[in-house]
Amino acid sequence: MYQDQNINSQFQQTQGIIAQLINQTQQSSQMYQHMLQQEQQNALRLEELAQREQKAVQIIQSALQGHQMAIQQLQQVSQLCRQLEQTAQSSFQSLNMQQPQQQTNYGNSYGSSYRGYQ
């Protein structure tokens, strides 16, 4: 009979330990479930951030392409300005070379007419 009580006592202790293990396992399962939900939410947020970052990359790439085009166009404008400047300088030099002769001719005609009035 003493042995029966001992077996019953051990059985009850085992039952108590099993109940504690079940309880702890359920609590752990709830914690893991909560962690899983958090990780799923984090994964969704990271995907959203990745999509935003990808859009930002595309916007920046477009801006850089626009800047490169603008630089090329400005370089073309600069080259046209240099060509225009060279053309203008050549034209002014040609005019300056012709003007002294014209002034001399005008001066002679004025001088001769002025003498005519004296």
Around 15, how many Cα atoms within 13 Å sit in the side-chain half-sphere? 6
Residue 97 has which token pair?
């070379």
CA distance 31 to 25: 10
Closest CA to 86 of 74, 97, 94: 94
Report the chain's mean pLDDT, rounded to a whole number. Answer: 87
CA distance 92 to 67: 36
Residue 14 has which token pair?
């085992």
pLDDT at 11: 93
Q: Where are the alpha helices (DSSP H) in the chain?
A: 2-117
Residue whose structure tokens are 């001992």: 6
Mean pLDDT across the stretch 92-104? 70
pLDDT at 118: 46
What whole-number percentage of the chain has pLDDT above 70? 82
CA distance 15 to 5: 15
pLDDT at 92: 83
Q: What's the pLDDT tens digit per position in 33-91?
A: 999 999 999 999 999 999 999 999 999 999 999 999 999 999 999 999 999 999 999 88
